[in-house]
Structures are given as structure tokens and as C-alpha cells.
Structure 1
Amino acid sequence: MVHRDERVIAFMDTSPVTPGHVLVAPREHANGLEDLNPHLGAHTWLVAHRVARGLRRSGLRCDGVNILLSDGSAAFQDVFHVHLHVIPRYHRDSFRIEAEWLERDSDMLESDAVAVRAGLRDLMSEGPVVST
């Protein structure tokens, strides 16, 4: 266990991709982001941020940090309880996030933006985003 409070726990991953790989998870169950209370999500991020800063100051001497969340099976989520991976990175480590980056012209980008804005309008009924 790395951290625990009344809302979140942070613990070492038993199958780390690099030394020091930490998982940060809310105690309250949520399958994915759609189910996660936004205030709890904000607190989870704050703890992950603090863990990342702690990793940078630790004796592990990492060169960088990735914070990764997989939401849904298409995003490679295989444990259906929201959690953030805080992954220390080292020059020449073997962990890779690889993709073929798309090239989109401005019309396609605007079309994508219209779709995202429509999804965000649906969320407005939940109220404004507020800090915790």
C-alpha cells in the first residue's frame, strides 16, 4: 500500500510494466468513467498526481511518468473498476504506447468537434464542473 484515505487507495501493481508502477483506485465501485462520481474522479486524479510527484522524488530515480486510464474493453480495460496507472518511466525501458497517428483535415476535425460538443451538451444537465 502506498496511500490510503477514506475515498481512494494507491498500491503497487503486481504485474508492473516498470519498477514502481502504482495503481490508484477509488474505494467506491465504478466500472468506468461514465459511472464515476466526478468529485471522486477529481480526488483520484489528485492522489495520482501526488504519487507521480512522489515517484519523481523517490529513490527509484525515474526519468518521467505516464498516467494511464483505460475506459472500456476497446481501450484495453481488463479490470472493470476505475483505476489510474501511475507508471514511472526510465530512458530505454521497454514499455511502449504505439499507434498509427491519424491525419485529419480541418473539415474532419470540425466534424469530430461537433460530435464531441453534442456529447458535452448531454452532460450539462448534470450541472457545471466544480472543483473539490
Structure 2
Amino acid sequence: MACVFCEIVAGTAPAIRVYEDDDFLGILDIRPFTRGHTLVVPKRHSVDLTDTPADTLAGMLAVGQRIAQATRASQLGATGNNIAINDGKSAMQTVFHIHLHVIPRRDGDKLSFAKGMLLRRDPDREGTGRILREALSQLDTTG
């Protein structure tokens, strides 16, 4: 079975890229809980926490931290973020290529977050991607 994240890394499947370096790719979740919900994907395939090297996990978290900073510094207006790895089918992992979720949160957003869990869409994915890329670029020049 083909891995959609490996296809995205290879450039043969579409995704809105917000971050990329030699080892990791940051892409907008196709079914976001909130606007700016980003997935940090290692370019080297591993399935879950049982077969992912510790340095890969650390690298995913470092990239996730930068993206979280960008959600706060941008017009997305996050005041916090949820960071999560769904490890295995019983933990709701649906794509079996390890990845880190960065989910922007805002003060008082419990109702809209719950709605986002049901609807899971962003009507302006291209705009959201642009916002995050610009914010990451600004962080790179100031931090």
C-alpha cells in the first residue's frame, strides 16, 4: 500500500507546504481541527513511536515549536497550541507514517474547536499556508 505522506514528500501528491528542510516537511492538515492545523512529517518513513528514532522525534518537536510560534506571531492569532502524535490505530492514527499535529488554539475557543472536530475544513487553505510561510520567514529573520 502506498503512503500518502511519502508521496507528498516526493512531490507526487498535493499538499500545502508551510515548512521544509532536509529532514522534515510541514503541511496543512487536509481536515483541520482549527485554521492553521499543521502536520510535521519526517521525510524518512517510519510508522509510529515503536520504530521512529529518538532524534527524529526531537526534530519533529523542534519544527513543531517553530510552527507553533508562527501561529502566535501571525494573523492566525493563536494564543496556544495543542501538540500531539497519534501512536497507532487505537490512538486514532489514520496515516501510518509518523507525524506531529500542531493545532492552533485561541482563548475561549472550546465551542469552535468542538465544531472544528466535526466539520474539519478550512475555506482558505492557500491563504492559511501563505500566512504561516510568511510568519515562519519573519521568525527566521528575527529569531
Query: If the length of structure 2 is used for normalisation, what is the TM-score?
Result: 0.64
1:56 aligned counterpart, secondary structure: helix
TM-superposed CA distance for 1:63, in Å, is 2.2
- Aligned equivalent of 1:17: 33
Q: Which of structure 1's runs of 4+ aligned residues deviate more than 6 A?
A: none
**Structure 2: how far apart are the matches of 1:92 and 1:50?**
22
Letter in 2 for 1:17: F
RMSD (CA atoms): 1.2
1:94-121 deviations in Å (ceiling 9; x for gaps): 335xxxxxxxxxxxxxxxxxxxxxxxxx
Larger Rg: 1
The structure whose residues are more often helix, as a share, is: 2
Looking at structure 2, the residues matched to 49 and 60 of structure 1 have their Cα atoms a distance apart, in angstroms, of 16
Encode CA deviations 1:51-88: one digit per residue, 9 max, x unaligned. 11111111111121100110011111111010011000
- Matched to 1:14, the amino acid is I
Identical counterparts, % of pairs: 41
Greater relative CO (CA pairs within 8 A, separation 6+)? 2
**Number of residue-to-residue matches in the alignment:** 96
* Equivalent of residue 59 in structure 1, options 42, 67, 75: 75
Q: Paired residue for 1:7? A: 23
List aligned pairs for 1:118-129, cutoff 5 A: none
Quick check: 1:47 aligned with 2:24?
Answer: no
Consecutive unaligned residues of structure 1, counting only runs of 5 or more, are 97-132
For 1:1-132, list aligned pairs within 5 A: 1-90=17-106, 91-93=108-110, 94-96=112-114
